[in-house]
Amino acid sequence: MSERKKVVLATRNKGKVKEFNSLFAELGWEGISLDAFEGVPEVVEDGDTFEANALKKATTIATYLNMPAVGDDSGLEVDALGGRPGVYSARYAGEHASDEQNWRKLLDELRGVPAQQRTARFRCVLVLAEPGKEPMVAQGTCEGVIAEAPEGTNGFGYDPVFYLPDKGVTMAQLPPEEKNRISHRAMAMGNLLAAIKRQG
Ligand SMILES: O=P(O)(O)OP(=O)(O)OP(=O)(O)OC[C@H]1O[C@@H](n2cnc3c(O)ncnc32)[C@H](O)[C@@H]1O
Ligand SMILES: [Mg+2]
């Protein structure tokens, strides 16, 4: 049996790590957490785009560890807010804001906005960086509506307020395996795999 490909997960987000562990398992990859290493540099997310930040996360870690690494930059784009919080999703309510502080601020900002104007999408850009190779970039989106109030405890981040009209529940009410079939991260992972296969 061939050895599983070892890929470092260039993220400090435990929710992403859980999802990647399942998504990687389906590919036969072994995801290695950043916690396994010492002295790993902090990545400053100063890009204007998800792609710039994902590229920086993946290449900084791949170069430092001399191993393949996947970087994920993701966030929520709300139409009534002109696409905000976008790349600033993690710091929407302040530099070290909690997930709950972020989604509470979002609900406050959208108070009084009618249901049909509460459309939004999650976007995820993934970069696979391997030492000595061109980085590969893929993205995925997931469409939904911002709820009036939080529901559900699964997932992370904005999941409790991200309502999926087709399913009649929020992302945080979905079982993890179902989120991993429909999410922006799952779509991006599928697109990354397709790009890798195309490259051969
Ligand atoms: O940068 P790393 O270390 O990967 O971890 P992070 O949590 O800072 O990740 P980002 O910079 O990519 O910020 C992503 C933001 O979007 C939110 N987000 C991303 N994917 C999500 C998902 O699947 N469900 C809910 N919220 C999500 C997340 O909670 C953050 O507020
Ligand atoms: Mg971040």
What's residue 82's pLDDT? 98
Tens digit of each residue's pLDDT (9 = 90 or more) over 11-37 = 999 999 999 999 999 889 999 999 999
Distance 157 CA to ligand 1 centre (A): 6
The proportion of the chain whose per-residue pLDDT surpasses 90, expressed as a percent, equals 94
Is 56 among the domain residues?
yes
ipTM, 2 decimals? 0.99
To test the pocket of ligand 1, the residue of 12, 18, 84, 89 to mutate (highest count of ligand atoms within 8 Å of its CB) is 89
Q: Would the pTM of this model clear 0.95, i.e. be above it?
A: yes
Q: Which domain holds residue 126?
A: 5-195
Cβ pair 58, 69 in contact under 8 A: yes
Share the mean pLDDT of the chain. 96
| pLDDT at 185 (0 to 100) | 98
Closest C-alpha residue for ligand 1 atom 27: 157
Mean pLDDT score, 157-168: 98
Q: Total domain count for the chain?
A: 1
Q: What is the pLDDT of residues 29-83, one digit of tens each?
A: 999 999 999 999 999 999 999 999 999 999 999 999 999 999 999 999 999 999 9
Confidence of residue 4 (pLDDT cuts 50, 70, 90): confident
200 domain residue, yes or no: no
Q: Residue 78: which CATH number?
A: 3.90.950.10
Domain-located, residue 93: yes
Residue 169, number of CB atoms within 10 A of its CB: 15
Ligand 1 atom closest to the CA of 71, numbered from 1: 4
158 part of a folded domain: yes
Distance 130 CA to ligand 2 centre (A): 21
Residue 159 falls within a domain, yes or no? Answer: yes
Q: Report CA(200)–ligand 1 centroid distance (Å).
A: 30
157 is in an annotated binding site: yes
What tokens does 153 get? 């405890």
**Residue among 200, 49, 38 at smallest CA distance from 139:** 49
- Check whether 185 is labelled as a binding-site residue: yes
Q: Residue 178 falls within a domain, yes or no?
A: yes
Cβ-in-10-Å burial (0-12, 13-18, 19+) of 99 comes to: middle
Residues in the chain: 200
Q: Are 5 and 68 within 8 A, CB to CB?
A: yes
Is 148 a domain residue? yes
Name all residues whose Cβ lies below 6 A of ligand 1: 11-13, 16, 45, 72-75, 89-90, 99, 102, 122, 155-159, 183, 185
Residue 2 has pLDDT above 80, yes or no: no
Q: Tell whether the model's pLDDT for residue 108 goes beyond 70.
A: yes
Q: What is the number of the ligand 1 atom nearest to the C-alpha of 19?
A: 23
Is 72 part of any domain?
yes
Find tokens 């909690």 and name the residue: 98
Q: What is the pLDDT of residue 199?
A: 85
